[in-house]
Structure 1
Amino acid sequence: MRVFIAEKPALGQVIAEALGTVIRKDGYFECGSKDIVTWCVGHLLELAPPEVHNPDYKNWVQADLPLKLRPAKYQPIARTKDQLSIVQQLIGRASEIVHAGDPDDEGQLLVDEVLVHFGNTAPVKRILINDMNANAARKALDSLRDNTEFYGLFQKALARSIGDQLYGFNMTRACTLAGRAKGVKSVLSVGRVQTPILGLIVNRYLANRSHASAFYYTVAASLAVGGSRPQARLVVAADAPIDDKNRIIDEAYATQVADACRMKPADVIEARVEEKQTA
């Protein structure tokens, strides 16, 4: 019997429609006498917390850092444990597995980690479906590949998830314990993604909070050249009172320059003609 494991129920339904003769069961579809389509619901497994590796890790102690969390251990995600049990039973009945995770590294990990967790020994094929419709699935069924071709993709996502866990647990405990020594009672959560994003938000907030209204001044002139009236703007000298955007910030200076130029002749020292297209 061939068992397809999709990343999510909607994809499982598309594959079942492509195979035909669909009978809905609890957590899977029967498609004829030889094919079954089941699915994950996102990740069905999660990396186990530190106390699963060592009960002593329940208490946050500086001496335990860095936490020893290798080899990685997995546990069922509580809200989807029933579906995981169904997938496990079907893996045990399969003569061949078809991995139908999304065609990216996380989709590869999502199904592979389940197969590894349950010690699957059946051969595994890989189906790549980019469009969520039965026609695309039918075409993909004609191009099954060996899942071993995607081992590197699986390892990439696996390394990232384990690295995130090691970094997150260790840095959160280290920063929280350091904070407690300074009187901070809350948990100081740290993560590879969340911490840089939080930093961007805080920096933006602080910049907005410290922002003060500032005025700047522009010196412009309307010139008389023949029958035309071109507009001109002062090129500010480097030693002028300017801000970091090269704008005059001293009203008296701007007024002085304007008064000095008012009704005075101007010399054209350079002219350039550019051709531009408009839509």
Structure 2
Amino acid sequence: MKGDTGPTGPAGVAGAKGDTGPAGAKGDTGAAGPMGQGIQIKGRVATYANLPTSGNVSGDSWVVTADGLLYIYGTSAFPSNGSGVPFKGDRGDKGDPGTTSWNGLADKPTTFPPATHTHATTEVTGLSTALAAKADLDGTGKVPQAQIPAVAMTDFLGAVGTQAAMLALVGQRGDWCTRTDRGTDWQLIAEPSTTLASWREKTYPASPVSSVAGRTGAVTLSSTDITDATATGRAVVKATDAAAVRTAIGAAAGSVTIVSVTEAEYAALPSATKTAAGFVAVIRP
């Protein structure tokens, strides 16, 4: 008769690891997978918070200046802040020294043809200050009166015979007129021209001649105006020819003796000769 199964005994000690068996034959090459999406570096932003929140597609990449990492947009979002990949590559070799001379520049043009271009006012040193110091032009292309220096154009307003007529003239400071009733010129020294105080009578130096032969104004003299002359002297002044002069002095034709002498010769002449009627001595040098 068979009895009941007894309890399982304890596990035995593990045996030593056997030698590795020979490598199996290489399997067949699998089919090529689909081409990856790749990345498109779009630019740089200051912080992670500045990454664009719309319009992104898988592979769009932005460099965050704050941490220097490259954040690549996945299927629906960028990696979390600080989870970008380092964008800085290995340090390259040191380049050749640059040049500061014109001859050292490569690929420079040989000619510089002029081209139409513009400059902002701020790009020309001192231009804004110079323009601000110039006069403006109004809508008619003229300088506003307020910006014109206080220099008046002088015009002759005409001749008038009374003060009232002068005050009726229309003019500005510097204009002038002639007052025929006073024989003087008047000039505007202020405005308006309708006020007498705006006018000033021009004065002239006093003439040292106050009268001629007791008369003033336009004087025409005659022989009668020479009051200190004798009747014979006035007759000589009025004589129109030599015959009239001889008649005035009582010398008949041919009775005049004219001699040319020096002062010494004249002094030596007898008194009777010098006082004889019709004797004329011409003193020569």
Q: Which TM-score applies when normalising by structure 1?
A: 0.17
Bigger relative CO (Cα 8 Å, ≥ 6 apart): 1
Pair member with larger Rg? 2
Per residue, is there more helix in 1 or in 2?
1
